Structure 1
């Protein structure tokens, strides 16, 4: 018998940790100096890379962490620091100079890896969430296949949102994108700090209440 309630819980969990909507402002920020004709390839490359990373964590993430003797709390702290540094670049970063706009296509598309694919889409929280959902020692192959299907579905939805982000950019322009990136940078910085504190709590360094 299919556990629809469990599937729904997994879908909601994956959607929250990947946060497709939250990746749209990051996409606009990352493509600010990228030619419009490259935006689709930029989005597709970012989602493809994020998919490969998250599927990798789905298959072997738990084994890798156990093999290396790493604690989940340490992973959360490290991920939070990376997110915080990126958030600072969103808040205080300068506009791209004119000479960077004329860079090679290779350089434009390299931004699809960082910051869009990681740590925006395949964030530390998403990686941890996938590891938790796919208990490689307890779940059956069928259960892991369902989780993989839900993961791919959320990532496809993320791709659709990123493809539509170009139309949003035409409406809000450079000024609007700048405002959004800084506001989202503040929010991302808050999320990063929260991730660091959660990691400290998991490690038993502090006790966060409320």
Structure 2
């Protein structure tokens, strides 16, 4: 076992920024208002299973379709870049229509375990030990569960302007992560 507090903390912070559960509180509150009850436990467990499964089989899926991890990471850096731009500028480049229920879709996938998260997991796997990434996923899922359970309280405490500030801060962090991800993987393409 190669447990490293530094790797767990770094991977955890990167996943936290990508998942952006605090920044998604307005979306969660809106979902709660539209559909009533949000199944926090179900959404959290399904998101964790999706992320851990993709951590192990994602690379094999890519090999099956003929894509190397560096190419996927560079493509993922673009996804993270656009997610960051959405967060910083407050624009919406892509959003799904409003769902009728709120547990697996859209909470577990794509809000928590979406394309940005999947890309990040494969990129993290190239740099960190798997057991540290799994612990980072578990820590993030605990945070996700806590936020889902208390989303209406968080929304009231922070208010719209507080949520907007937090979303922009995480957007800048995510932008920096996307640039680092691009820089560290683009040379592997040539």
Same fold (TM over 0.5): yes
**Structure 1 residues 180 and 150, CA gap change in structure 2 (3 angstroms):** closer
Q: 2:13, 2:40 → 1: CA distance?
A: 20
Q: 1:147, 1:157 → 2: CA distance?
A: 15
Which of 153, 156, 176 pairs up with 1:167?
153
Render the CA deviation track for 1:163-193: whole Å, top value 9, x for unaligned: 3454332211112112222232233222222
Mind listing any 5+ residue stretches in structure 2 that lack a counterpart?
Answer: none
Q: Do structure 1's residue 87 and structure 2's residue 73 form an aligned pair?
A: no
- 1:98 corresponds to: none
Q: How many pairs align?
A: 181
For the pair shown, the structure with the greater C-alpha radius of gyration is: 1
SS in structure 1 of the partner of residue 67 of structure 2: coil
Deviation at 1:29, TM superposition (A): 4.5
Mind listing any 5+ residue stretches in structure 1 that lack a counterpart?
Answer: 96-102, 135-145, 205-210
Deviation at 1:63, TM superposition (A): 2.4
Moved more, 40-49 or 72-81: 40-49
Which of 183, 193, 196 pairs up with 2:179?
193
Q: 2:135, 2:76 → 1: CA distance?
A: 24
Q: 2:48, 2:175 → 1: CA distance?
A: 24
Deviation at 1:11, TM superposition (A): 4.2
- 1:208 corresponds to: none
- 1:180 corresponds to: 166
SS in structure 2 of the partner of residue 47 of structure 1: helix
Q: 2:17, 2:150 → 1: CA distance?
A: 12
Moved more, 192-201 or 160-169: 160-169
Deviation at 1:79, TM superposition (A): 0.8
Deviation at 1:126, TM superposition (A): 1.9
- 1:116 corresponds to: 112
Q: 1:179, 1:157 → 2: CA distance?
A: 23
TM-score normalized by structure 2?
0.69
Q: What's the Cα RMSD here? A: 3.7
